[in-house]
Structure 1
């Protein structure tokens, strides 16, 4: 998933709400509907599941590459054979695949809704 780094003001404008209202959504100060979540996902070009899991996934990714042992940098190969780490990687892979399947389903529904053949 490529992060697009869109400005809050841009996303807010696309949603027809104020920047402050959108910032409140980002900071989890405002509850949103599933429809609003899908609108945001469409604007960000990602799945709703990606948005819901974003903070935890980012934290997991950061912790993987900046661990408490003082090792920092790019990990280009698996070091060791810790089964728990392999299970975590498999779980993240499965979540990513599921997220992409849901994204494809959403895109297909949008195409059908707009009478676009694919």
Structure 2
């Protein structure tokens, strides 16, 4: 696959429109479609922007090899194994945020229920 084809495949897999990417790149739809159709070369700046919007690495856009719909973790060691940053790629970041918000809300609702159960059963607890 070529870069333009990879971009189109990732974009379509995520249900994003060509118009949205064109707007994000601050170019016209025709110019954007020329990138996907390999008529126009893509700049490094455009490639970086597209990779951010699609939540995939630039490497995935260059060399996709059937990677659609996967979750990947990239580990970057910045200070001798003392810390690691995890970048989840391949899925919509808004969906991840929504999922975390839902989990957090559920946990907040669970705490009072657990405290009530502890009190009802005379179990001491400290926070």
TM-score by length of 1: 0.45
| Larger RCO, structure (CA 8 Å, separation 6 or more) | 2
Whose helix fraction is larger, Structure 1's or Structure 2's?
1
Query: Greater CA radius of gyration, 1 or 2?
Result: 2
TM-score, normalisation: structure 2: 0.42
